[in-house]
């Protein structure tokens, strides 16, 4: 019998091969997909998030753990789509025009998926209107706009403005190490997350799912 705590430990240690093998074994043994996800992958990534926020882990550890979690999600993904359980929400995620930073966005996407969100990553250096188009196509609950460069705030604000003009209901959440909650308020965004663990909490808050 696969030890789900072992999967969680594999995430914390960033043991990509170990996580892949244990998740496959859990699937082969017929464990519930949501159980593998929540008690294995999400449980481990939650610990990683706590260690990151406390200063015990840094970006390299977070990135490595995120890759391990992605391996597990790649195996569970096709099966999760067959599970008749409402997802937490739909997120459009991208890095705004003028910025090509991808690592932080990738970690955020992985953690949001682990939190039950369906994530569509539209890439980097993305024009503001493309965020809104994608949100309309996917009937998204949240538009996540990522960037590291403060010069991109104008583009972030444009996403907010275009979303309102289009009449979409998706809430706009911005994130990036260079930004603050005050910046989010200034451009009219609905939410702000300084890092990946915070993005899951903020996204759940925005769609009305506390916890």
Interval 172-201 mean pLDDT: 92
pLDDT in tens, 110-132: 888 878 899 999 999 999 999 99
pLDDT averaged over every residue in the chain: 90
Token duo for residue 10: 């594999």
CB 161 within 8 Å of CB 113: no
Q: Is the per-residue pLDDT at 211 higher than 50?
A: no
> Which domains, from first to last, does the chain contain?
4-80 (1.10.1240.10), 89-206 (3.40.50.280)
| Cβ atoms 149, 99 nearer than 8 A | yes
7 CB-near residues (< 8 Å, 6+ apart): 19, 22, 23, 26, 36, 39, 40, 41, 44, 72
The span from the CA of 195 to the CA of 205, in Å, is: 15
Please check whether residue 151 is in contact with residue 133, taking contact to mean a CB–CB distance below 8 angstroms. Answer: no
Summarised one tens digit per residue, pLDDT across range 59-72 is 899 889 989 998 99
CA–CA separation, 112 and 115 (whole Å)? 5
Q: CB atoms < 10 A from the CB of 93, how many?
A: 27
């Amino acid at each position: 019998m696969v030890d789900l705590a072992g999967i969680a430990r594999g995430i914390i240690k960033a043991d990509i091969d170990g996580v892949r093998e244990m998740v496959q074994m859990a699937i082969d043994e017929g464990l519930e997909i949501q159980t593998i996800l929540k008690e294995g992958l999400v449980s481990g990534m939650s610990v990683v998030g706590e260690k990151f926020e406390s200063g015990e882990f840094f970006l390299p550890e977070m990135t490595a753990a995120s890759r391990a979690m992605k391996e597990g999600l790649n195996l569970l993904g096709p099966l999760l789509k067959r599970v008749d359980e409402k997802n937490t929400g739909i997120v459009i995620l991208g890095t705004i025009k003028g910025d090509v930073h991808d690592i932080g966005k990738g970690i955020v996407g992985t953690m949001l998926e682990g939190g039950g969100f369906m994530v569509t990553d539209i890439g980097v250096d993305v024009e503001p209107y493309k965020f809104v188009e994608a949100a309309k196509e996917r009937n998204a609950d949240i538009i996540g706009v990522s960037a590291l460069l403060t010069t991109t705030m104008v583009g972030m604000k444009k996403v907010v403005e275009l979303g309102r003009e289009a009449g979409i209901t998706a809430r706009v959440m911005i994130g990036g190490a260079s930004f603050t909650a005050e910046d989010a308020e200034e451009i009219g965004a609905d939410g702000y997350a300084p890092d990946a663990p915070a993005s899951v909490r903020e996204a759940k808050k925005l769609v009305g799912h506390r916890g």
